[in-house]
Structure 1
Amino acid sequence: MALSGLDIYKLLPKTNCRQCGLATCLAFAMQLAKKVLPIDKCPFVSQEAKRTLEAQAMPPIKLITLGSGELKFDIGNETVMYRHEEKFRNPAAVGFIIDDHQSNATIEGQLKKINQLKFERVGQELSVNLVCLKQNKDAQRFLEATKLLLKNTALPIMLMSADLAALKQAAAESREAKPLLYSATRENFSQIAAIAKEFQLPLVVTSPDIEQLGQLTEELNALGVKDLILDTGSKTVADKIWDL
Structure 2
Amino acid sequence: MALKGLDIFKLSPKKNCKECGSPTCMAFCMKVAQGAVSLDKCPYFSEEALASLNSATAPLMKTISVGEHKLGGETVLFRHEKTLVNKNLFAVCVCTDCADKADEKLAEVAKVDYERIGERMYVEFIHVANKQSDPAVYADLVKKAAATGRDLVLECWDVECAKAALAVCGKNVILDGATPENWEAMNALATEAGVVLGVWASNISDLYDTVKKLEAAGNKNLILDVTGATAKETLANAVNVRRTALKQEDRTFGYPSIVNVAKLAKGDDRLQTALAAMFVEKYASIIVMSHMSYAQALPLYGLRQNIYTDPQKPMKVEAKIYPINGADENSPCALTVDFALTYFLVSGELERSGQPVNLIITDASGMS
- Same-fold call, TM cutoff 0.5: yes
1:182 & 1:220 partners in 2: Cα distance?
A: 14
Residue in structure 2 matched with residue 93 of structure 1 by the alignment: 89
1:168 aligns with 2:166: no
CA gap 1:148/1:188 in 2 versus in 1, 3 angstroms: same
Tell me which structure has the larger Cα radius of gyration.
2
Decide which of 169, 174, 186 is 1:192's aligned counterpart: 186
Residue in structure 2 matched with residue 115 of structure 1 by the alignment: 110
2:203 & 2:76 partners in 1: Cα distance?
A: 20
1:75 aligns with 2:90: no
Give the C-alpha shift of residue 225 in structure 1. 2.0
1:81 & 1:164 partners in 2: Cα distance?
A: 36
Counterpart secondary structure, 2:93: strand
Counterpart secondary structure, 1:141: helix
What amino acid sits opposite 2:200 in the alignment?
Answer: T
Which residues in structure 2 correspond to 1:1-244 (within 5 Å)? 1-12=1-12, 16-21=14-19, 24-34=24-34, 35-36=36-37, 38-39=39-40, 41=42, 43=44, 45-66=45-66, 68=67, 72-78=68-74, 80-83=75-78, 84-104=80-100, 106-118=101-113, 126-137=121-132, 138-151=134-147, 153-174=148-169, 176-234=170-228, 235-237=230-232, 238-240=235-237, 242-244=239-241
The two structures have a TM-score, normalised by structure 2, of 0.56
CA gap 1:31/1:65 in 2 versus in 1, 3 angstroms: closer
Of 26-35 and 184-193, the range deviating more from structure 2: 26-35
Matched length: 233
What amino acid sits opposite 1:116 in the alignment?
Answer: K
Counterpart secondary structure, 1:9: helix
Q: Is the 8 A contact 2:33 2:57 kept in 1?
A: no
Aligned Cα RMSD in Å?
2.8
Give the C-alpha shift of residue 178 in structure 1. 2.1
Structure of higher RCO (CA pairs closer than 8 Å, 6+ residues apart): 2
What amino acid sits opposite 1:100 in the alignment?
Answer: T
Q: Is the 8 A contact 1:60 1:81 kept in 2?
A: no
1:216 & 1:52 partners in 2: Cα distance?
A: 27
2:92 & 2:198 partners in 1: Cα distance?
A: 16
Structure 1 regions of 5+ residues with no counterpart? none
CA gap 1:118/1:46 in 2 versus in 1, 3 angstroms: closer
2:128 & 2:38 partners in 1: Cα distance?
A: 43
Counterpart secondary structure, 1:61: coil
2:86 & 2:40 partners in 1: Cα distance?
A: 26
Give the C-alpha shift of residue 8 in structure 1. 1.4
CA gap 1:48/1:99 in 2 versus in 1, 3 angstroms: same
Q: Is the 8 A contact 1:20 1:41 kept in 2?
A: no
1:170 & 1:9 partners in 2: Cα distance?
A: 50
